[in-house]
Structure 1
Amino acid sequence: MKLDKRILALGCLAAVLVLVSGWLWMSRTQGEDFAQCRKSVMAGGLENLGGPFTLTNQDGQRVTDAQVLDQPSLIYFGYTYCPDVCPLDTARNAEAVSLLAERNIKTKPVFISVDPTRDTPEVLKEFAQSISPDLVGLTGSTEEIDAVSKSWRNYYKLNNQDNPEDYLVDHMTNTFLYLPGRGTVEFYGRDVQPEQMADSVACFVNAAS
């Protein structure tokens, strides 16, 4: 009986070592592949950002991360009632996507709402149409938005204590670059221009191919 327990313990330890070794290998490989492209550093590693999700798009359809992030994607967390930052950042991302299309590099701008109460699919659709026909808008329940936001370590806070209808939302303004099969590989701040973003994304896409 003691021997069986030792064998089981050794088997579990071996499995853990294999998983850790695989994670380290993937992290190191990603770093080597994209070393010439990457300019951002995040504690814990960019490759740990993101995770599975099921949300609702602007057409009212339930979609998964696999369906949405099926090509290089620029992911932004914001809300449609945002007075300036969100529309400007989202338009910048859409412009970068257009610049990449001119280079025959297909990418997708994705907007995930952090204000699901007001950002219904209908509202998101109107917002997306005003920005770009390529923009994918996503919303969901409060629990779903909390989960997907946390998976990208995105902070947001609704300031709706005094007025439940007319309020602002504090949120981070990073745009994340996601590559299918490689995960999150980079993020961009508000100071990055469309041309700079397009050059960076092209570098990552070419390095991954």
Structure 2
Amino acid sequence: MPTPSNLAGRLSRFCLAALENGSAIAAKTHVVTYLGGQTALVSWQCDEPPDLSNLSIEDVRTYLFCLEHSHYSLVTQDGSIVQMTFKIHRGDIIGHRLCYLPCPVSFDPLELLEDNLQDVVTRNLHSQNFEVLRQRGVVRFDYDPAAEAEHHPSCHFTLNFDEVRIPVGRSFDAAVFLSFVDSHFIAGREGLTRFGLNVGRDDTSAVLAENDRVLPHVWWDAA
């Protein structure tokens, strides 16, 4: 299992390499914040550890807030945001928040030569040009065994609505998440992982509860 500093280093190298080869238009270094009790949070560098729990995935203002405050691991070529946060305790990953926030508009990359991404997105949102608006939902994979409850699996896939939590059979590692984003959301373009970039694979745990096995859920066999 990874140490916090090792995982932060791998995420940082991946994000910065994606920026250098043009797969991303913005990227952040990842750092370790110790929370006490031998528990550490690995996330993108910012003034304070991000608390995004009160932001709704249904609200386009969540995307704008994350963009304005640089709450991202990286930003893809089309302006979509990728967020990767892990919680580690004594060498075990005990939580993660892996999120893909699609850009709510399409835009000409040449616009970024004149303005920053936030101005480009805001201008297109206010343009009343419905051809540039994109109805694409946020995809988020959460793993938080401490928050497990009825209708709140320890590992789940949130799609379109905050209350939609589809059970997921095992926790993710960064490599699986990035590959998932790459193959499903960046198909046909220069993706994040097809340049031989690698954040490494970590062991993950099977976490599907017995009562969730009879419900629709996401499952795959670990490599």
TM range (shorter): under 0.3
Larger radius of gyration: 1
Higher helix share: 1
Greater RCO, 1 or 2 (C-alpha within 8 Å, sep 6+): 1
Higher strand share: 2
